């Protein structure tokens, strides 16, 4: 419990720090890639620590990893508005509320299916070991989505990348639910990972745009975690009564409402950015 609380606080602090960057979408994307790659490399030593000392080994590994990265904290920037001596930029609570609600629904819908991936794999005749390998590889490859977000940045604004990636994850979950073999299972998980990791930097970057101190973004990560936690419960209710068909309906409904909530905010922010760029030109 203490470790989980600490991880949550550290994540919120990191999100808040990144929100003050000139291009938060790109920074969040780079952080996703670095964190994903580091996590992949950490699997082997973590497994060895657990094999050698059980839970004590796991916590010892966490202590050592924390000690290794702790010196990097000195490089964290001061909040943008504080560093500039300006008032903090917190604006448009209504717009932020729409983005937060969309983020929550997106996380709920995606995790509703993700939590039952093992069951879907079992129904397709895929054993647990093969499924675990598929998920590990597809999630690692999915980091290319975050890499794409880092390269794209805001060249085409926020609306097209974010709504497009939400649509990709919705289609991928539909294919996952309707998969008929291991090939479909692999492809659906790969496209889901690409869309998910592409979307996350734009969700957080949009919230950072509405508050460069990072409070909306930090709240967003918390709400997304709540949505992800509630997803399996919502899916379980649907599966218990009606099976995979209505589960797909749940996912599409969450994604559709999320798109409807996000679209007007993203459109307005893109227009403001275009006007600002024209004024500077």
Q: Per residue in 32-89, pLDDT tens?
A: 888 888 777 776 687 788 878 887 888 888 888 888 877 877 766 665 544 444 444 4
* DSSP code for 112: H
Does the residue 54 lie in any domain? no
Does the residue 83 lie in any domain? no
Q: How far apart are CA 93 and CA 210, in angstroms?
A: 8
Does the residue 5 lie in any domain? no
Close Cβ partners of 119 (under 8 Å, ≥ 6 residues apart): none
Does the residue 17 lie in any domain? no
Distances (CA, A) of 193 to 16, 146, 176, 219, 232: 24, 10, 12, 23, 18
The residue range of the domain holding 177 is 93-280
pLDDT band of 125, cuts 50, 70, 90: very high
The more confident residue out of 66 and 210 is: 210
pLDDT value at 221 more than 50:
yes
Q: What is the pLDDT of residue 90?
A: 46
Q: What is the pLDDT of residue 78?
A: 61
The more confident residue out of 129 and 99 is: 99
- Token look-up 């930029």 returns 89
* Chain mean position to CA 236: 22
Q: What is the pLDDT of residue 45?
A: 81
pLDDT band of 91, cuts 50, 70, 90: low
Please state the rounded mean pLDDT for residues 218-233.
88
Q: What is the pLDDT of residues 226-256, one digit of tens each?
A: 888 888 888 888 776 666 778 888 889 999 9
DSSP codes of every residue in 129-159: HHHHHHHHHHHHHHHHHHHHHHHHTTTTTTH
Does the residue 26 lie in any domain? no
Q: How far apart are CA 37 and CA 142, in angstroms?
A: 11
Q: What is the pLDDT of residues 129-182, one digit of tens each?
A: 888 889 888 988 999 999 999 999 999 999 999 999 999 999 999 899 888 899
Of 197, 182, 185, 117, the C-alpha closest to 150 is 197
pLDDT value at 99 more than 60:
yes
Please state the rounded mean pLDDT for residues 187-199.
94
pLDDT value at 115 more than 90:
no
Does the residue 27 lie in any domain? no
For the whole model, what pTM was predicted? 0.82
The more confident residue out of 61 and 207 is: 207
Q: What is the pLDDT of residue 1?
A: 55
* Chain mean position to CA 142: 12
The domain tally of the chain equals 1
The end-to-end CA distance of the chain, in Å, is 52
CATH number at 129 reads 1.20.1250.20
DSSP codes of every residue in 194-229: HHHHHHHHHHHHHHHHTBTTSHHHHHHHHHHHHHHH
- CA geometry: angle 251, 120, 259, nearest 5 deg: 15
* Chain mean position to CA 230: 16
- Contact yes or no for 207/19 (Cβ under 8 A): yes
90 three-class SS? strand
Phi-psi category of residue 182: left, alpha or beta, with phi > 0 → left and psi -120 to 50 → alpha: alpha
Of 165, 170, 180, the C-alpha closest to 251 is 170
Q: What is the pLDDT of residue 168?
A: 95
Does the residue 250 lie in any domain? yes
pLDDT value at 217 more than 80:
yes
Q: How far apart are CA 41 and CA 36, in angstroms?
A: 9
- Contact yes or no for 131/117 (Cβ under 8 A): yes
Does the residue 87 lie in any domain? no
The more confident residue out of 2 and 258 is: 258
- Token look-up 């675990």 returns 132
């Amino acid at each position: 419990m203490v470790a989980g609380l600490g991880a949550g606080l550290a994540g919120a602090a990191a999100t808040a720090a990144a929100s003050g960057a000139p291009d938060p979408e790109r920074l969040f994307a780079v952080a996703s890639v670095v964190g994903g790659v580091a996590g992949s490399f950490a699997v082997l030593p973590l497994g060895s620590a657990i094999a050698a000392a059980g839970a004590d080994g796991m916590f010892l590994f966490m202590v050592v990893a924390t000690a290794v990265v702790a010196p990097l904290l000195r490089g964290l920037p001061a909040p943008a508005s504080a560093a500039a001596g300006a008032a903090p930029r917190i604006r448009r609570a209504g717009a932020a509320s729409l983005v937060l609600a969309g983020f929550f629904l997106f996380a709920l819908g995606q995790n509703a299916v993700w939590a039952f991936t093992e069951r879907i794999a079992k129904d397709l005749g895929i054993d647990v070991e093969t499924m675990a390998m598929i998920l590990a590889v597809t999630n690692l490859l999915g980091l290319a989505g975050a890499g794409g977000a880092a390269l794209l940045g805001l060249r085409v604004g926020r609306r097209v990348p974010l709504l497009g990636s939400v649509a990709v994850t919705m289609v991928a979950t539909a294919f996952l639910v309707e998969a008929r073999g291991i090939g479909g299972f692999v492809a659906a998980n790969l496209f889901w990972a690409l869309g998910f990791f592409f979307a996350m930097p734009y969700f957080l970057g949009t919230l950072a745009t509405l508050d460069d101190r990072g409070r909306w973004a930090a709240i967003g990560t918390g709400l997304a975690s709540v949505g992800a936690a509630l997803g399996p419960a919502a899916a379980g209710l649907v599966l218990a009564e009606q099976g995979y068909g209505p589960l797909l309906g749940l996912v599409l409904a969450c994604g559709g409402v999320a798109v409807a909530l996000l679209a007007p905010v993203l459109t307005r922010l893109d227009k403001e950015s275009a006007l600002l760029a024209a004024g500077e030109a």
